Amino acid sequence: SVEQLVHFREVRRTIRRQRQMLLAWDDVRYYAGTILCANLDTPQARQTHLEQIDNEIAYRNFALRNGLCPRCGGKLVLRHGTYGDFYGCSNYPACRYTLENEA
């Protein structure tokens, strides 16, 4: 199966173009309910969501600037792999975060 990433405005059109049944109706109802429950229906909810995203981006940038893993806070260490050097979390294998070496 081919997965598609579509903009929210294109969801209905993309679904209607499907000719093969991919989900049972119970699954469709479950996912529709999940989407509706997660919908940001007030300006305050949207603003809070955007602030959370901004905070996550700021934390990720802060962690990377300081040589820390943005997932678990471990140190990023230079590793040598088959396809070149990269930075990996010192908490491997519990944390599998990697960052391509830009040098």
- pLDDT per residue as tens digits for the range 19-52: 777 788 899 899 888 888 877 788 898 899 889 9
Asked whether residue 2 is assigned to any structural domain, the reply reads: no
Is 3 a member of any domain? no
Integer CA distances (angstroms), 83 to 8, 76, 86, in order? 37, 18, 9
**For residue 90, is it within any domain?**
yes
Residue 41 lies in a domain: yes
Total tally of structural domains belonging to the chain: 1
Report the pLDDT value the prediction gives residue 70, as an integer from 0 to 100: 95
Assigned domain for 1 exists: no
- Boundaries of domain holding 41: 8-100
Report yes or no on 47 lying in a domain: yes
- Residue pair 89/71 in contact (Cβ under 8 Å)? The answer is yes
Query: Could you give the CA distance from residue 76 to residue 68 in angstroms, rounded to a whole number?
Result: 5
Q: What is the pTM of this model?
A: 0.56
Query: Which pLDDT band holds residue 103 (cuts at 50, 70, 90)?
Result: low
Question: What 8-state DSSP symbol labels residue 76?
Answer: E
Which residue do the tokens 């990433």 mark?
Answer: 5
